[in-house]
């Protein structure tokens, strides 16, 4: 519930508006689920609420720790379905990677989540709940981490719920994450990008690109057949970017397929004057036959070709690969065998 929705509920039991603010702050700011512990609320109000409502965060069912410090969480939801989220410590900040859907319908060929298909959308509470749980697990203050919607699902295909979660997460009475520290990653859902351009405040945007011709992108990312590259970049140019804000392009490097210097030059031409930073992602070879990772030397040469064209680019360190927590690797594991993928029914 948003703070406003919670205020409507609390107004049935209390004529003091600040009680709703206190309750909101307990639930989201302190991740408290036990009404009895909300000591600054009147006992009678707590008792009335306890008769009618349950406060629940996703339940941690499994933690897998990587050698690099990342931790992947399997979180169980109220209806018994599960979702994954990842804690990623970096030099100066932490990044939390969260999911917007269970599974994903978009079928990108290099992505393990795609194998699940779409199971269902997550609610705002389930999305924000991933953050409250991971922040509490690692004792994180709200200004100590970045949040990326790069887990399972296409956030712009669950637009209303994701935006409601964004407002929950940025509410200063609750978790209070700065909007600029939240990035939403899309495969290129152009109507969603255009809608997002009209939001204020709004999260930052990352686009998973991974190909510079429509022919290849049609093959890697079927969403491109609906919204080809020219239309995608036209929608990105409509974003009212803040000073120094850049759109992030995620580019998974696949040997011999999209990693030649001419691909880098085409990418630079597509970008034109759009302020961009490009994250080059080493492909993880663990699960799909037919795709191979680009060798480091070629990845560097691709990056240098972009830098020569004045485009900010870096090769991202692969994080959490040993626990299948790297990009495109989230899918529900069988908790007994830790094998991918399993039935998600
Ligand atoms: S890469 Fe993202 S959009 Fe594509 S199938 Fe995977 S989760 Fe969905």
pLDDT digits (tens, 9 = 90+) for 202-236: 999 999 999 999 999 999 999 999 999 999 999 99
Q: Is the CB of 187 within 6 Å of ligand 1?
A: yes
Confidence label for 324 from pLDDT (cuts 50, 70 and 90): low
**DSSP string for residues in 161-191:** HHHHHHHHHH-TTTT---GGGEEEEES--HH
Confidence label for 111 from pLDDT (cuts 50, 70 and 90): confident
289 or 7, which is more confident = 7
pLDDT for position 201: 96
41 or 322, which is more confident = 41
Nearest CA to ligand 1 atom 4: 108
84 part of the active site: yes
Res. 333: pLDDT tops 60: no
Res. 328: pLDDT tops 90: no
Nearest CA to ligand 1 atom 7: 153
pLDDT for position 194: 98
Q: Is the CB of 186 within 6 Å of ligand 1?
A: no
Phi first, then psi: give them for residue 194, nearest 5 degrees. -65, -35
Determine the atom of ligand 1 nearest the C-alpha atom of 208. Answer: 1
Res. 133: pLDDT tops 50: yes
Give the predicted TM-score (pTM) of the model: 0.91
Res. 122: pLDDT tops 50: yes
71-76 and 59-65 as β-strands: parallel, antiparallel, unpaired?
A: antiparallel
Q: Region 239-254: what's the mean pLDDT? A: 94
């Amino acid at each position: 519930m948003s703070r406003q929705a919670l205020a409507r509920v609390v107004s049935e039991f209390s004529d003091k508006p600040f009680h709703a603010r206190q309750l909101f702050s307990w639930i989201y700011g302190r991740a408290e689920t036990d009404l009895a512990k909300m000591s600054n609320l009147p006992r009678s109000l707590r008792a009335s609420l306890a008769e009618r409502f349950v406060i629940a965060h996703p339940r941690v069912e499994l933690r897998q720790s990587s050698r690099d410090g990342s931790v992947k969480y399997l979180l169980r939801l109220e209806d018994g379905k599960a979702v994954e989220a990842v804690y990623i410590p970096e030099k100066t900040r932490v990044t939390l990677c969260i999911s917007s859907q269970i599974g994903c319908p978009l079928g990108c060929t290099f992505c393990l989540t795609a194998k699940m298909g779409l199971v269902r959308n997550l609610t705002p509470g389930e999305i924000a709940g991933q953050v409250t749980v991971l922040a509490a697990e690692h004792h994180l203050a709200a200004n100590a981490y970045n949040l990326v919607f790069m887990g399972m699902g296409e956030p712009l295909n669950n637009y209303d719920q994701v935006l409601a979660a964004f407002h929950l997460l940025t509410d200063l009475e609750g978790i209070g994450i700065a909007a600029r520290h939240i990035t939403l990653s899309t495969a290129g859902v152009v109507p969603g990008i255009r809608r997002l351009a009209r939001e204020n405040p709004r999260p930052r945007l990352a686009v998973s690109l991974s190909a510079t011709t429509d022919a290849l992108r049609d093959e890697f990312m079927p969403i491109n057949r609906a919204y080809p590259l020219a239309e995608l970049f036209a929608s990105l140019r409509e974003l009212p970017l803040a000073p120094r804000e850049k759109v992030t392009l995620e580019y998974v490097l696949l040997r011999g397929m999209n990693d030649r210097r001419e691909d880098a030059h085409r990418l630079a031409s597509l970008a034109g004057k759009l302020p961009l930073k490009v994250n080059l992602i080493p492909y993880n070879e663990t699960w799909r036959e037919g795709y191979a990772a680009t060798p480091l030397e070629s990845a560097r040469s691709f990056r240098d070709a972009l830098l020569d064209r004045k485009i900010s680019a870096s090769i991202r360190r692969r994080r959490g690969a040993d626990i299948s927590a790297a990009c495109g690797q989230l899918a529900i594991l069988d908790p007994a065998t830790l094998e991918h993928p399993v039935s998600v029914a």
